[in-house]
Chains A and B, each alone.
Chain A
Amino acid sequence: MPFTAPFKLEVPVGMRRFFQRHPRLTRALELVVLPIEATGKKVVFGCRMCGQCILHETGMTCPMGCPKTLRNGPCGGVRMNGHCEVVPEMMCVWVKAERRSRWLPWRKAILRIQPALDWSLQGTSAWVNVLAGRNGKDTA
């Protein structure tokens, strides 16, 4: 499996353990980080706060803007002009993601199979989740 090598944002185990051992500290940090992260990513990337950010793997394009919330590539309904089948006036998120990812040195990351979303993380801070090692399992 050439392209399934993880390209996941991870911090050292020690740091993850530290945050896992101090849930109140983590919570406090999240209260500070959350508004900054939410506002910044919302303005720049149209972030939907799934809490498991993969922007860096999808050409800095938020896949949650897709009406089907597809995280593994475009569906078969993309219109001939590259627009979304559900919202005809919107460019397909994945057409953009694929085009933009070509500019990234780690462009192969778009080929990684993204695991299913953990919906319990919806609305939480993806950054703090990385620190606490909560950003998604690698099963399905």
Chain B
Amino acid sequence: MSRPAAVVRFEDALRSGLPVVTCEIASGDGADAADIVRRARLVRDHVDAINVPDNTAGIVHLSALAAAAVLVREGVDPIMHVTCRDRNRLALQSDLLGAAALGVRNILCLTGDHMIHGDQPDAKPVFDLDSLQLLVLANVLRGGRYLSGRAIAPAPELLPGATENPFAPPYDFRPQRLMKKIEAGARFIQTQITFNVGRFAAFMKGVRDLGLDRRVPILAGVAPLRSARAARYMQERVPGMEVPEALVRRMDQAGPDRTRREDEGIRICVETIEQLREIPGLAGFHVMPIHWEEAVAEIAARARLVPARASLAARPGAEVLDERAADGPVAGAEASALGRHREHRA
């Protein structure tokens, strides 16, 4: 359990200008820190930071703050999801402060899925703030004040981030909403899962026209499909998710055999990453394996996803505290992959 602290913090990775990789792990369902550690170990060598979700889809899980604290102990820089669904502004402030005290600096400010789709739809929706107001709040705290104006000493070190979903109407408004989030203080962006690359490209064009890609790093969300059934479910049942019919058909054609369909899912994911690399203005990728953390290593290898910290740690003069980052599979940063990506950022 006693691993050294991550050498390269997520913020430094973002600042380096190198392509960044993040990954979301599923939240635990038991009072079991070992489960979080197990999931994190499956992905940690391939990413700069690990996202821990906050009661996704309105279904209760182990708290994101606790999971993030476990990751800090593991030497991983976590990105803690913070939603407005379950907590009012008092609780949010104390949680953010507590997170900072535990070494959790990166927070992803979300409105939160409504509990109507969860397992306890009878709960009271809070939504005291929305995601933008939460971003403002995080920045007020960072500046050393509570919302009331009372001073905080020392002020919490926080790196607030935000999301945007290019795949939900009103499509034209999404880049402007992203601009609003950046103005509210978002310092990095992770998007919804991309299956429809065309729609994402149109969104990124709007983003570039507003010059947003030069203001904050934007990470494109990607995910592997695991079966035709899962693809169909996402297509029909998950609002805000767009799965093109062609992809569902490809998963169908892969048949019921587990190895074949999983391989096809990973192949689609890798193809999506390759297509997204052609779009200017992206700073990296955010992989959401949806309870399938085992797939991340395979995706990273096939898509040549290299976390920025691997190259940063390999730089002369950099203090190497995380031995696995230095000589793991990610260390020999394939120059070609990196060079190619950097070219698209320019």
Contact = CB atoms under 8 A, between A and B. Distances in A.
B17 to A, nearest CB: 25
Contact of A77 (B113, B132, B149): B113
Given A111-B179, A113-B136, A73 B169 contact: no
A105 B110 CA distance: 31
B73 interface: no
A70 interface: yes
Contacts of A68: 84-85, 111-112, 114, 125, 127, 130
Interface in B163-208: 163-165, 168-170, 172-173, 176-177, 179-180, 183-184, 192
Given A70-B111, A80-B242, A85-B114, A140 B169 contact: no
B240 A78 contact: yes
A74 B173 contact: yes
Contact of B130 (A70, A79, A95): A70
Interface in A40-86: 67-82, 85-86
Contacts of B137: 116, 140
A116 B127 CA distance: 10
Interface residues of B, number: 40
Interface in B102-138: 111-114, 116-117, 125, 127-133, 136-137
Given A70-B130, A140-B140, A82 B125 contact: no
B117 A85 contact: yes
Contacts of A80: 168-169, 242
Interface of B: 84-85, 89, 111-114, 116-117, 125, 127-133, 136-137, 140, 147, 149, 163-165, 168-170, 172-173, 176-177, 179-180, 183-184, 192, 239-240, 242
Given A76-B111, A82-B169, 9 more contacts: A68-B84, A68-B85, A76-B240, A77-B113, A115-B136, A116-B129, A139-B136, A139-B140, A140-B129
25 contacts: A67-B114, A68-B114, A69-B130, A72-B130, A72-B131, A72-B132, A73-B180, A76-B111, A76-B240, A77-B113, A77-B165, A78-B168, A78-B240, A79-B240, A80-B168, A85-B114, A94-B173, A95-B170, A114-B132, A116-B128, A139-B147, A140-B89, A140-B133, A140-B140, A140-B147
